[in-house]
Amino acid sequence: MESLVIDPSFWQGKSVLVTGHTGFKGSWLSLWLNELGANVTGYALAPATNPSMYDSLALDDELDSIVADISDLATLSVTIKTLQPDIVFHLAAQSLVKPSYDDPVNTYQTNVMGTVNVLDAVRHCPSVKAVVIVTSDKCYENYEWSWPYRENDRLGGHDPYSNSKGCAELVTDSYRKSFFADNKTAIATARAGNVIGGGDWSDYRLLPDLIKAKQNTQPLEIRHPAAIRPWQHVLEPLSGYLQLAQQLCESGVDVAEAWNFGPVQEDIKPVHYLVEQAQKKWSSFEWYSPSQNEHHEANILMLDCSKARQKLGWQPVWRIDDALSKTFDWYDAFYSGKEMREFSLQQIQQFVQAANPQLFKA
């Protein structure tokens, strides 16, 4: 099946709610939706880092932003009832493994009850045609086996973060069966791999930690250099979310299920591969691995994305080295003082052209 083109005419004038719009992925998604002509409203806490992707893009000037907690059902319900959105992307989350050990209650409150709140508010809003609930590749019960996980594999998760994402999947499935069986609102979940890209400054993530170490000229501690992950540029899963939302509106129940979005098998690499690529670009960059790690993390994690390829026409665009190059370029541009909204839009355009070269032939 050929790649499904992200159709600006579909998005033009659509009312779209993005929860978690001030985060890394949410900011990229909001920028892209705005460029496609959607009327975007964001619902999230203020940006958690300084600098942040959200502020770098000056998104406050481009969309309506509601600063509120996803755990606040009353405010969320009023927002959705007032907005009457066509489509909802739910990205608001506590998205890191290590902080989930430090504060498991908040992790479950945000990731599980936050998902409950979104779905419960949506079930009282008949305008909503499609909902994409973003969870994680870590939602699977990880057996450390050497083949990729499919959407029908067992859910689970060792750490509170991973487990909370498995719970969010189960919550979504229950709500879909219990309250949305009439197919007036189609709901799907999306499980993406480990995303990289410009504009992420979160703690305990490989690329942001790498960039901070480079800027501060300090050696970087790499907790699990041999851990294998499905790395992909942030625009890869976002393109999947956009295609999935369009298909939910057009096909309804046929695609209202769980979907994996990850890289090709050859790009599932160990952590040290990415660090070594950074060393090639910045020769002064140094790193080390501690002799002991405080918390458990999975050693190997892979995704089978054949369903998305076959049924949605989605497929990865940038290989791992291209994704790393685009990421490094973004941070170089940021720290050299370039205008990052325009630079980010250029990267989106480059991605779209790479995905559909036949549309851009002279």
**Residue among 16, 38, 162, 169 at smallest CA distance from 96:** 162
- Bridge partner list, 133: 90, 189
Q: Are strands 268-270 and 228-233 parallel, antiparallel or unpaired?
A: antiparallel
Contacts of 75 (CB under 8 A, 6+ apart): 66, 68, 69
What is the reported pTM?
A: 0.95
Between the alpha carbon of residue 83 and those of residues 13, 74, 86, the distances in Å are 13, 14, 9
Question: 362 pLDDT exceeds 50?
Answer: no
- Residue 2: per-residue pLDDT: 45
The answer to whether residues 189 and 135 touch, using CB atoms and an 8 Å cutoff, is yes
Q: Are strands 194-196 and 39-44 parallel, antiparallel or unpaired?
A: unpaired
Query: How far apart, in whole angstroms, are the C-alpha atoms of residue 332 and residue 167?
Result: 38
Least confident of 153-167, 228-242, 269-283: 269-283
Identify the helix (H) or strand (E) that includes residue 333.
helix 320-335
- Averaged pLDDT, 35-41: 98
The answer to whether residues 244 and 132 touch, using CB atoms and an 8 Å cutoff, is yes
Between the alpha carbon of residue 62 and those of residues 10, 31, 59, 201, 362, the distances in Å are 20, 8, 5, 22, 32
Between the alpha carbon of residue 58 and those of residues 63, 153, 161, 232, 308, the distances in Å are 10, 40, 30, 25, 33
Query: How far apart, in whole angstroms, are the C-alpha atoms of residue 350 and residue 235?
Result: 11
Question: Three-state SS for 131?
Answer: strand
Query: How far apart, in whole angstroms, are the C-alpha atoms of residue 74 and residue 101?
Result: 28
**Residue among 71, 93, 230 at smallest CA distance from 161:** 93
List pLDDT tens digits, range 281-310: 887 778 888 866 666 666 788 899 999 999
- Averaged pLDDT, 189-217: 91
Question: 358 pLDDT exceeds 80?
Answer: no
The answer to whether residues 100 and 161 touch, using CB atoms and an 8 Å cutoff, is yes
Q: How confident is the model at residue 343 (pLDDT cuts 50, 70, 90)?
A: very high
Contacts of 76 (CB under 8 A, 6+ apart): 43, 68, 70, 117, 118, 121
| Token couple for 330 | 């973004």
Averaged pLDDT score across all residues of the chain: 92
- Averaged pLDDT, 10-15: 98
First to last CA, the chain: 24
- Averaged pLDDT, 97-120: 96
Max CA distance (Å), the chain: 59
- Residue 359: per-residue pLDDT: 67
List pLDDT tens digits, range 79-107: 999 999 999 999 999 988 888 999 999 99
The answer to whether residues 241 and 89 touch, using CB atoms and an 8 Å cutoff, is yes
Contacts of 294 (CB under 8 A, 6+ apart): none
- Residue 283: per-residue pLDDT: 76
C-beta neighbour count of 154 within 10 angstroms: 10
Domains contained in the chain, CATH given: 8-354 (3.40.50.720)
- Bridge partner list, 42: 18, 65
Identify the helix (H) or strand (E) that includes residue 46.
none
